[in-house]
Structure 1
Amino acid sequence: MDGTQETLSRRGLFRGQFGATSQTEEGWYSVEGIAAGPGDVFWDGWADEQGVFVTGDDGVIFHFDGSDWTRLQCPAPVPIHALWGTDRSNLWAVGWMGLILRFDGETWHQDRGCVVDTSGKYPSVPDNTPLFDICGLEDGRAWAVGDRGTILHFDGTDWQSEDSGTRAHLRSVIALSGGQLLASGGDGTVLLRGDGGDWQKLDSAVSSNFTAALALGDRSALLVGGRYFVDANGFRGDVVLWNGDTFETLFPSAQFSRFREIGRTEKGIITLGDAGQIHLIREGEVARVQSGTSHDLLGLVCLPTGEALAVGDFGTVLVGDAEALECFAPAIAAGEVAPNWTPQESGTDRQLWGIWCDPEEGALYACGEEGTVLIRDRGQWEALPPAGDLGIHDLTRAPDGGLLAAGQLGEIHHFDGSSWRKHFDLFMDVTILSLWKHGTDQIFAAGDEGLVLHWAGDSWERMPSGTKSALYGLWGMDAEHLLAVGDFGQVMRWNGTRWDEFNAGTEHFLFDVWGRALDDIFIVGLSGTIGHFDGKRWQITPARARSDLLAVTGTEHDVVAVGAAGVAARHDGLRWHMEPTGSTAGLRAATVDRDGRYYAAGDGGTILIRDPS
């Protein structure tokens, strides 16, 4: 079922000329940032140039505006199965218990369905017949279909019932060229609505339970669905071609999973189904696409770029192109075109791994390759004596008031104001990547292979961290509340007694963490990953940057993240904005001084400053 591909010749599309192929398409990508849990089920969505709607069980409606996913208010807590509209001020949604919603551009309103009796239950009345699909014409007329042959027609003013001539459950309705409509559903039911408004049952000669259809052009369509096979103890999918006169089952020898949806993207025709099944019809071939999930995929949302989202069980949201949602990113305002960051002369061409502002004295330091340590003195960066021969990744204040520098081979060096001495040696090829200090005698260090070290006043002790992943960044409120982030979305939380996993909902590498409070924490990482913890849950913001984000820091007013290729992003309290830096150097560390000036350090000795004005 997972490895079968078939060939569909476009020249022979209506002649049934098919053959096998062994091609498999590259996979889809998981969309992050939508606050969905494992119990959520998404059924469908709709998109325009301004953003994306995704709907599901319990009246869930999420909207993505190019920056954030927001859950919108819904008048009824029942599953929403399908959406259609001419634009977002004329957008319809249908669902369980006959629910029909209309969006006016700002708010969702209930137009029909979800009738309750005196006990607060849904009675068995025609208005509560479940609806599963909706489509319409450019003039605003719409049709919705559902159980027991239900077909409703919106004539521009009201919803009225139309006689379908069947009691079969209908699951799909599409518009054909010339204003005709095609509805389909259980037991091979296919209905055609002609120009006169009457529905005619067609002889499909296929017993499949059709769930979706796609108009191909002049009075023709592809229908998909599935049938239960006792010998297979499960459903198998069907693809059926209607050429305007007859029906033909395509790929009869292929053992597809049951299909749930079909749509068109710039890459070709996409089919979705059970167990994460995605197939692509393109250039005369049908190929299995790697979805990266085993969850049932139920809906396809076509994006204005020609890409699409796939949605389904367990809060699954996938996209066919990793950068597809960037089309909704708000443009940088005109006032932000000039670089907000200006370069400073560092006096070195060594790669800089860290930059740090001493909270006690306000002094600024940077560190990097070959023991490089810089200090900013009277507006200029000056080099201190090298802290050994190896790379230095982070700095902090020593318990006695000196300076600590940590880095490669697990070495920690101490500077007393004139010279360095070795403060600690792990005697292992493990790099210390981050330091964090609280008070006068509590210091933590983290690094490769899950390394965590702790200084509690007398000596450095290695702690069991509960992970073998590299830990790149540390941040905490105090010695009993600390976070470390690392490979494959790893977030570890220290509670004063032990380290435990703290799932952030992403598998991207995380390179840094910073927060204002325990309910206001930011993480950044691979491919522009940005996450925020509000005290209850993590929310992963869809990437506004293609480049990796390597460092994050902030003030009570804003937050800044920097990363590869000179990328920088600023959160103003409401949303993230990309900022030009005028640099293409990788920015590997960031800090902020007492006056709210941000500093970023990175490749080739690069140091940039962002003035708060």
Structure 2
Amino acid sequence: MLKRNKMRIVHLFRGIVFGISLFSSINILFADEWNLAIETPKAEWGLLEEPSPKYKWGLESPTVTHKKSDSIVMHYNGKAWSCVYNAYSAWLNCIYGFDPNNIFAAGDNGVVLHYNGNSWIKQKTRVTSRLNRIWGISPKNIYISGDQGAILHYNGTEWKKYTMMTATWFSSTWGIDAKSIFIAGALGKILHYNGKKWIEQESGTSNWLYGISGNSADNVYAVGDYGTLLHYNGKEWKKIILNTNKRLTSVCVPDANSVFVVGADGLILHYDGMHWSRQRSGTDNWLRKIWAIDDNTIFAIGDNGTILSYDGKKWSKQKSGTNYLLLGIWGNRRDSVYVVGIKPKK
């Protein structure tokens, strides 16, 4: 429920109070019942925080012990989750696909794995940076962003690295077509690819950004530290001010009038085209990624093997059978969804 009374909004950043914004902003206030003012700790891309000690969502039953590697790939068939691959030693941070015979996973040390329908095969990337997010148009046109300014492109035959004049750590990649691709990352950096070159856009924030997504070239959202939520209308980025300073880690946009955001401590926000509201997630585990098949089939994943599903009305828990930190998700049907995760810190 939104507050109707007017109040002044100030931005807090490490003890400094800013009363003037250098870019347009939209003030959105939420009910006091979730006015959470505890500053979340900053860590590299939000992947290394200590997991919550609470194990929820049916994990009281024995969990799978993945002895072969530090990473797992899980698959959902519409009824249950199962581990389909755990034979690679490097952390896998993200996954993206096009059909059952073309699925890509990427992670630490520049690793990219391709699933051809039968087996996972390592591809040569010639980079050693950690790779954080994948997005693609087709199996012959894929982009990956990562640490130390890494931006890779796959043409169906080989991976090539763009020569960038930046060492920014990029955390998220999303696009609408070959002529409109966005990358977001450290210190509010946002790049846009117009089909010919990468151009930096003015985001209006220096906060780290962890997720970017949209449903058209003029309806794009980016999320990050301290409750940072930005919207791009095709011309400029504007800040939407939320009454929370929690870290927002991922965003998905099923349509113009439906936006979902997830973040620290089980936070889920929804925009219905007019108002932002908080939805009950039923967990205080960090949620790392959200993915929509459609407006009534949405998944959120996170720490301690947390997997939530949304049916258009409410969020429900799913049994993952693992306590891994789940970091990446992709699916094109409600009965075929893939997740990658990494072994939690001891």
State whether TM-score is above 0.5: yes
The residue that corresponds to 2:53 in the other structure is: none
- Residues 477-499 of structure 1, C-alpha deviation per residue, up to 9 Å, x if partnerless? 11111000111111100001100
SS of alignment partner, residue 304 of structure 2? helix
Shift of 1:579: 1.4
- Residues 80-122 of structure 1, C-alpha deviation per residue, up to 9 Å, x if partnerless? xxxxxxxxxxxxxxxxxxxxxxxxxxxxxxxxxxxxxxxxxxx
Shift of 1:341: 1.3
Q: Which moved more, 1:491-500 or 1:472-481?
A: 472-481
Contact 2:101 2:117 in 1 (8 A): no
Q: Provide the aligned C-alpha RMSD in A.
A: 3.0
Residues 1:523 and 2:239 are matched in the alignment: no
Residue 96 of structure 2: which of 356, 359, 365 is its match?
356
SS of alignment partner, residue 532 of structure 1? strand
1:338-377 equivalent positions in 2, closer than 5 A: 340-358=80-98, 363-377=102-116
SS of alignment partner, residue 438 of structure 1? strand
Q: What is the TM-score normalised by the length of structure 1?
A: 0.43
- Matches of 1:475 and 1:538, distance apart in 2: 17
1:403-482 equivalent positions in 2, closer than 5 A: 403-428=142-167, 430-482=168-220
Residues 1:483 and 2:199 are matched in the alignment: no
Residue 534 of structure 1: which of 267, 272, 276 is its match?
272
The residue that corresponds to 2:33 in the other structure is: 317
Q: What is the TM-score normalised by the length of structure 2?
A: 0.75
The residue that corresponds to 2:42 in the other structure is: none
Shift of 1:397: 2.8
Amino acid at match of 1:353: N
Shift of 1:386: 3.4
- Matches of 1:399 and 1:342, distance apart in 2: 26
Shift of 1:317: 3.2
Shift of 1:421: 2.3
Relative distance call for 1:588 and 1:513 in structure 2 (3 A) is same
The residue that corresponds to 1:36 in the other structure is: 2
Q: How many pairs are equivalent?
A: 285
The residue that corresponds to 1:390 in the other structure is: 129
The residue that corresponds to 2:340 in the other structure is: 601
Relative distance call for 1:347 and 1:387 in structure 2 (3 A) is farther
Contact 1:485 1:511 in 2 (8 A): yes
Contact 2:102 2:139 in 1 (8 A): no
Amino acid at match of 1:316: D
The residue that corresponds to 2:325 in the other structure is: 586
Shift of 1:380: 2.7
- Residues 44-71 of structure 1, C-alpha deviation per residue, up to 9 Å, x if partnerless? xxxxxxxxxxxxxxxxxxxxxxxxxxxx
Amino acid at match of 2:151: I
Amino acid at match of 2:270: H
Shift of 1:315: 4.8
- Residues 299-347 of structure 1, C-alpha deviation per residue, up to 9 Å, x if partnerless? xxxxxxxxxxxxxxx9533799x9xxxxxxxx979xx999931111143
Residue 249 of structure 2: which of 500, 511, 515 is its match?
511
Contact 2:101 2:116 in 1 (8 A): no
1:31-180 equivalent positions in 2, closer than 5 A: 35-39=1-5
The residue that corresponds to 1:551 in the other structure is: 289
Contact 2:93 2:107 in 1 (8 A): yes
Contact 1:346 1:382 in 2 (8 A): no
- Matches of 1:464 and 1:505, distance apart in 2: 23
Relative distance call for 1:378 and 1:536 in structure 2 (3 A) is same
Contact 1:337 1:580 in 2 (8 A): no
Relative distance call for 1:409 and 1:398 in structure 2 (3 A) is farther
SS of alignment partner, residue 349 of structure 1? coil
Contact 1:413 1:424 in 2 (8 A): no
Contact 1:363 1:375 in 2 (8 A): yes
Residue 310 of structure 2: which of 560, 571, 577 is its match?
571
Relative distance call for 1:458 and 1:512 in structure 2 (3 A) is same
Amino acid at match of 1:354: C
Relative distance call for 1:423 and 1:382 in structure 2 (3 A) is same
SS of alignment partner, residue 434 of structure 1? strand
SS of alignment partner, residue 5 of structure 2? coil
Contact 2:57 2:306 in 1 (8 A): no
- Residues 447-483 of structure 1, C-alpha deviation per residue, up to 9 Å, x if partnerless? 1110100111211111110111111111111111100
Unpaired segments of 5 or more residues in structure 1? 1-34, 41-313, 323-330, 606-613
Unpaired segments of 5 or more residues in structure 2? 7-29, 39-55, 64-78
Amino acid at match of 1:348: Y
Amino acid at match of 1:345: Y
- Residues 187-226 of structure 1, C-alpha deviation per residue, up to 9 Å, x if partnerless? xxxxxxxxxxxxxxxxxxxxxxxxxxxxxxxxxxxxxxxx
- Matches of 2:161 and 2:139, distance apart in 1: 15
Task: Percent identity, please.
Answer: 24
Shift of 1:385: 1.6
SS of alignment partner, residue 409 of structure 1? coil
Shift of 1:576: 0.7
SS of alignment partner, residue 453 of structure 1? strand
Contact 2:228 2:241 in 1 (8 A): yes
- Residues 122-148 of structure 1, C-alpha deviation per residue, up to 9 Å, x if partnerless? xxxxxxxxxxxxxxxxxxxxxxxxxxx
Amino acid at match of 2:104: Y
Contact 1:555 1:596 in 2 (8 A): no
Contact 1:446 1:471 in 2 (8 A): yes
Structure of higher RCO (CA pairs closer than 8 Å, 6+ residues apart) = 2
SS of alignment partner, residue 148 of structure 2? helix
- Matches of 2:324 and 2:257, distance apart in 1: 33
Contact 2:98 2:139 in 1 (8 A): no
SS of alignment partner, residue 163 of structure 2? strand
SS of alignment partner, residue 93 of structure 2? strand
Contact 1:442 1:456 in 2 (8 A): yes
Amino acid at match of 2:91: Q
- Matches of 1:347 and 1:577, distance apart in 2: 30
